[in-house]
Amino acid sequence: MAKILKADDKDLGGFTVSRVLPHHDKKMIGPFIFFDHIGPADFPAGEGINVRPHPHIGLATVTYLFQGSILHRDSLGSVQEIFPGDVNWMIAGKGIVHSERETHEVRAQRHPLHGLQLWVALPPEHETVEPDFEHVNKALLPTINRPGLMMRLIVGEAYDRSSPVRTFSPMFFLDVLAQPDAKLEHPNPKHEAALFVETGRVKIGDDEFGAGDFVWLDADDLEFESLEHSRLLLLGGEKFTRVPHIHWNFVAYERNTLDAARKRWDNGEFPRVPGDDKEHIPLP
């Protein structure tokens, strides 16, 4: 039976972030260990997103926007503005530092921001890969069209299509636009899965779910029906046999790896972000 995982809403001053994963009832959905719904926000001129440089290990981050833009910089020297429909995929591996801000042109005028940020845990054998960053334009992401359905495959494999984004374990992440009465089957019944209802309403079994619901799907939830015009985010993947620990921005399978990362950051031993190295988020 499908179950709603309630989000923890955080007011970050001018906008809200709703965090679903990790959840006390379910830490991971496949490899997805972190799920943030950002906004929607409407910033006046002079204000906006301003996330100072901070570190990550043991994960890959996914940024996917519905509205607005974010300027990504990282310690590899990447500088990339992301727009709705594109994918920013950052592999932290053994360690990376990045910031998330805005361009002058965006900050100078009233602007929106609305989207998702997710973390994908790396399997133990890939936990310490070399860091990497990949930006994939929306035009390069596979689209899947069916009666009443328009889908974009963001990451992974689903419905006989593959995203160009490099992954380390079986997974899927889809953006689905559904018309009333459209039906969609589970992309891989062997995988764990969840459905986030961005807009509209959907029926799963005998239950109905609405905008803002993050629904953890049961193994028997094999088909979904849209009850009105809806936008749905479908995500999941192969269940991990080991669940890593999370502390702050770090993901690792051993506690001493987390402790070592904390010391590295506190001692200034992580690489710096070129062009954005004058400030940072201190260790909590």
The pLDDT averaged over each successive group of 10 residues in the chain (284 residues) is 94 83 97 97 96 97 98 98 98 98 98 98 98 98 98 98 98 98 96 98 97 95 97 98 97 98 98 97 96
The reported pLDDT for the residue numbered 15 is 77
Peptide bond into 124 cis (omega under 30): no
SS3 264: helix
Sign of CA dihedral 119, 123, 127, 132: negative
DSSP letter assigned to residue 284: -
Cβ burial of 123 (10 Å; 0-12, 13-18, 19+) is middle
The reported pLDDT for the residue numbered 274 is 98
The reported pLDDT for the residue numbered 219 is 86
Annotated domain spans of the chain: 3-237
Task: For 3-86, list the strands marked E by DSSP.
Answer: 3-4, 8-11, 16-21, 32-43, 51-56, 59-67, 70-74, 79-82
Contact between 216 and 196 under an 8 Å Cβ cutoff? The reply is no
Amino acid at 67: Q
Contact between 198 and 233 under an 8 Å Cβ cutoff? The reply is yes
Token representation of residue 275: 């062009």
The reported pLDDT for the residue numbered 107 is 97
* Nearby residues of 201 by Cβ (< 8 Å), 6 or more positions away: 208, 209, 210, 211, 226, 227, 228, 230
CATH says 3-237 is which class? mainly beta
The reported pLDDT for the residue numbered 13 is 65
